[in-house]
Structure 1
Amino acid sequence: MVFVPLLVVSVWLLCSCAGSPPNFVLLFADDLGFGDLASYGHPSSLTPNLDRLAAGGLRFTDFYCTSPVCSPSRASLLTGRYQTRSGIYPGVLYPGSIGGLPLNETTIAEVLKPLGYATAVVGKWHLGYGADGMFLPTKQGFDQYLGIPYSHDMGPCWNLTCFPPDVKCFGTCDLGTVTVPLMHNEVIKQQPVNFLDLEKAYSDFAVNFITTSVMKKQPFFLYYPSHHTHYPQYAGSMAAGKSLRGPFGDALLEFDSTVGDLLATLEKTGVINNTLIFFTSDNGPELMRMSRGGNAGPLKCGKGTTYEGGMREPAIAYWPGTIRPGVTHEMASTLDILPTIASLAGAKLPQVMLDGVDMAEILFHQGKSKRETMMFYPIDPSEMYGLFALRLGKYKAHFYTQGATHSATTPDKDCPGFAVLKAHNPPLIFDLESDPSENYHLPVEERPDLQALLERIKKVKEQFEATMVFGESQISKGTNPNLAPCCNPQCSPKPSCCHCQ
């Protein structure tokens, strides 16, 4: 017998009787660290709208993504499956990548579509473009899309920034690289994208989508994977120079302003009390950028690593009148978002191996999580090495450790790229409740209780890896420059002719 919490049943019945299933708004920040928000301890971040979500919603302290870099993390979020199953590894997809998120993978949007949901994504896709745009969101269950199909730094002069009044979005370097496009559905609307107006375009699009859906009395799913706060940051005139944290803070403030626009629209249209808003981030901060890269708070290392700073994220669930404000220390993951949304909407789960679990008990009762474990794969997972780390309850075991270029510049010698791959036998075990910074590994040899724990961890690892079938690597299919998006596909010479305003 499956136990369904009473509150979940009452919420579902209320929505069903009223003829209005719950709406979902999924906010996904980019390279935002565990310590970057005021609600997570940062002393100078200016984010009034995210602060409102944190104060009025449920804030997670032990929430994880599945990869310390962008594309695989996004694949897991949308499918509820580790990236190793879908083949989004090693690393990330590029403008000319041949592969992408396989079309036989089922996204949250595709789970909701049979129930009549309107679906839209605005922002950073980064799950492939492919031949003739075959991997775009419109091929994966989304009715509408406005955004950049990959990371916004994948154009000429990727290290330049875009802030008024000293605007320098592009320069004279990397001229053999196609400029970054802004796509509407499957058509390039602008190339190169105007970064100074981009967030307003995103906000207007999202506001219109919500308003139109409500007018049509259609339940909706809005996925907003922001480019902020990935380096190089950008911001328009309303946010530039307005924060206390320089370019990073300005970008974060601009993202926050869009969150405010969405909240205001949900209130104005009268659906905020029937909408679950969930906020989190794709991976940890890019510490190599120093103050421009974000902050992991007390956690060890950052982007690119399987230490806590690379994969433990801020996360907030907000649903006025349904989710009680508070803080939970229960373990949860981006993997759990798909099954949770499916449960609330009354949708069928995909008939595949899912790695996510329903978070209803945490969200509505601040009760225990169904998740006992979290698996940690590196940027370049392989069947030969398997898991780099595993968390069981409050304990985390590192079987392998390795630094990353993304986490350079910190004083910690374990974080940079020159911290080479190390195998640990027995694994390094940390108590994350008393030592979230992973500073002091426990003396397994001296404590019989830890030896019993280690045996249990090894058994859980063995059982999990027996279920893991690695999908064909989409990123190893390589790149073809001719696949990079161009608004004038037949023009010459490329890429300089790929220019539309």
Structure 2
Amino acid sequence: MALTLLFLLNVGLLCSGAASPPNFVLLFADDLGFGDLGCYGHPTSLTPNLDRLAAGGLRFTDFYCTSPVCSPSRASLLTGRYQTRSGIYPGVLYPGSIGGLPLNETTIAEVLKPQGYATAAMGKWHLGFGANGMFLPTNQGFDQYLGIPYSHDMGPCWNLTCFPPDVKCFGLCDVGTVAVPLMYNKVIKEQPVNFLTLEKAYSDFATDFITTSAQKKQPFFLYYPSHHTHYPQYAGAAAAGKSLRGPYGDALLEFDNTIGNLLTTLEKTGVINNTLIFFTSDNGPELMRMSRGGIAGPLKCGKGTTYEGGMREPAIAYWPGVIRRGVTHEIASTLDILPTIANLAGAKLPEVMLDGADMTDILLNQGKSKKETMMFYPTDPSEMYSMFALRLGKYKAHFYTRGATHSGTTPDKDCPVFAVLKAHDPPLLFDLETDPSENYPISATQRPDLQELLKQIQKVKEQFEATMVFGESQISKGTDVNLEPCCNPQCSPKPSCCHC
């Protein structure tokens, strides 16, 4: 209670211009499973800085992303809207994709800019490149951007053997594929990017941004969607071979080291006590990669599926002196981050249909969530099938189930791509409090008391679907090789000449 009163006093001072607005650091891991962090129970993960955030902050047990693959999940995070509204479906964007996150969508950065915030993004964007870089972060509210505009496996040979000091890739899979670029704002700095030095570049960029903002006494928003721990993993000299989990663990350690550098910078500049740090992941682990794909802990399946393992994520909120350390079992999601940041910054919400809810009471009081529902869309949502599953309170109803290539190799027959689309009427029902692994469906015929619950679930589903207007699919616009980023656009022959 005392912390809440202190925060409310600060808000009052802020409104009168006597206190500084809070800063925000948003950390977004890639393909990280619910069971991959030490603070979530992994016995050998080396993540001391994330563990520090969890020990001193609020750890979520029931936090969700909105899609089990990258691009749509990122769109929802930044806009507070399901990807079906913005059109980031089906699947993900590619280097030559014609579409991208529509410029009329409002991102967290664009919400904060009118409040005088400095904004920066570094890392994996994956929301489009487009003609002349029209979909890059600097056109979406960010003052600065350093990073790779799409997934780092979208280079020659999928970058499976392109990480130095490995053998350089060669052969037919090189043909027709542009090398992965490192961009600063809209300018290509390296092509191909040097993955051994990439994380240091990010750390230096973040240090400069935070330090400059602190010196100017300007509030800031830093968004870091990391490439770690997406397959194929990489790590520089400071982390390679240093973990007990092989390449996956090394990549996770390198990500954690950067988080440690961020914390050090926040402390040195004296702004850490006025900064909310929020960490989560875009989707579940890519189980088809086995030990190099991450794990979902006790949850069912992983990336590509709408089971819990594909969409329930680790999440941590850290704000010294404001957020009490503890654990919350309230339902929350990436959709809630935009309205929460807007409230804390005193910013106006976008005048569009938002799907997120303000989490301030959860963060400051460990209070109740403003919502008790979560919708689960597949990688290829459509108006014909709509959502695949819905969570209401502790119950989850699956209207459709399907496996995915990303979740292959597991012994669970429901996870691989061979588990074809199956409709369930009545829906497949699970109690996630007693059965988070979704192993034991509840029979409504044996539990007459659940009939009313099923009616309520159906009502919530119908009410939500009545509000859902599918945006034009940006990914279905296709690709154009001429749009792929090239540091020497007039060179020939492409794409092999795109090196600098």
Please say whether Structure 1 and Structure 2 have the same fold, judged by a TM-score greater than 0.5: yes
Q: Which residue of 1 aligns with 2:8?
A: 9
| CA deviation vs aligned residue, 1:195-222 (integer Å, no higher than 9, x gap) | 0000000000011100000011110000
Mapped partners of 2:355, 2:422: distance in 1: 27
Mapped partners of 2:88, 2:441: distance in 1: 32
Mapped partners of 2:6, 2:315: distance in 1: 22
Q: Which residue of 2 aligns with 1:314?
A: 314
How much does 1:448 deviate?
2.0
Mapped partners of 1:183, 1:466: distance in 2: 41
| CA deviation vs aligned residue, 1:463-501 (integer Å, no higher than 9, x gap) | 00000000000000000011000001111110011111x
How much does 1:19 deviate?
3.6
On the 8 A contact 1:80/1:354 being kept in 2, the answer is yes
Q: Which residue of 1 aligns with 2:454?
A: 454
Q: Which residue of 1 aligns with 2:133?
A: 133
Q: Which residue of 2 aligns with 1:360?
A: 360
On the 8 A contact 2:152/2:159 being kept in 1, the answer is no
Mapped partners of 2:222, 2:110: distance in 1: 13
Counting only pairs closer than 5 Å after superposition, residues 66-77 of structure 1 correspond to structure 2 as 66-77=66-77
SS in 2 for 1:444: coil
Mapped partners of 1:213, 1:255: distance in 2: 23
On the 8 A contact 2:7/2:322 being kept in 1, the answer is no
Structure 2 residue runs of 5 or longer lacking an equivalent are none
Percent identity over paired residues:
84
Letter in 1 for 2:282: D
Mapped partners of 2:492, 2:244: distance in 1: 45
Q: Which residue of 1 aligns with 2:349?
A: 349
How much does 1:177 deviate?
0.2
> Structure 1 pair 497/163, CA: closer, same or farther in 2 (3 Å)?
closer
| CA deviation vs aligned residue, 1:420-470 (integer Å, no higher than 9, x gap) | 000000000100000000000101112221110000000000000000000
Counting only pairs closer than 5 Å after superposition, residues 177-188 of structure 1 correspond to structure 2 as 177-188=177-188
| CA deviation vs aligned residue, 1:363-383 (integer Å, no higher than 9, x gap) | 000010012100000000000
Q: Which residue of 1 aligns with 2:248?
A: 248
Mapped partners of 2:46, 2:313: distance in 1: 18
SS in 1 for 2:498: coil
Q: Which residue of 2 aligns with 1:404?
A: 404
On the 8 A contact 2:80/2:338 being kept in 1, the answer is yes
How much does 1:171 deviate?
3.5
| CA deviation vs aligned residue, 1:213-237 (integer Å, no higher than 9, x gap) | 0011110000000000000000001
Q: Which residue of 1 aligns with 2:166?
A: 167
| CA deviation vs aligned residue, 1:73-128 (integer Å, no higher than 9, x gap) | 00000000000000000000000000000000000000000011000000000000
Letter in 1 for 2:330: E
Q: Which residue of 2 aligns with 1:438?
A: 438
Structure 1 residue runs of 5 or longer lacking an equivalent are none
TM-score, L = length of structure 2: 0.97
How much does 1:10 deviate?
2.6
SS in 1 for 2:218: coil
Q: Count how many residue pairs are aligned between Structure 1 and Structure 2.
A: 495
Counting only pairs closer than 5 Å after superposition, residues 245-394 of structure 1 correspond to structure 2 as 245-394=245-394
| CA deviation vs aligned residue, 1:3-37 (integer Å, no higher than 9, x gap) | xx756533423445544100000000000000000
Mapped partners of 1:140, 1:7: distance in 2: 34
> Structure 1 pair 207/383, CA: closer, same or farther in 2 (3 Å)?
same
Q: Which residue of 2 aligns with 1:416?
A: 416
On the 8 A contact 1:7/1:364 being kept in 2, the answer is no
Letter in 1 for 2:179: T
Mapped partners of 1:33, 1:325: distance in 2: 22
SS in 2 for 1:223: strand
Mapped partners of 2:282, 2:59: distance in 1: 17
SS in 2 for 1:157: helix
Letter in 2 for 1:237: A
Letter in 2 for 1:141: G
On the 8 A contact 1:305/1:403 being kept in 2, the answer is yes
How much does 1:162 deviate?
6.0
How much does 1:161 deviate?
4.5
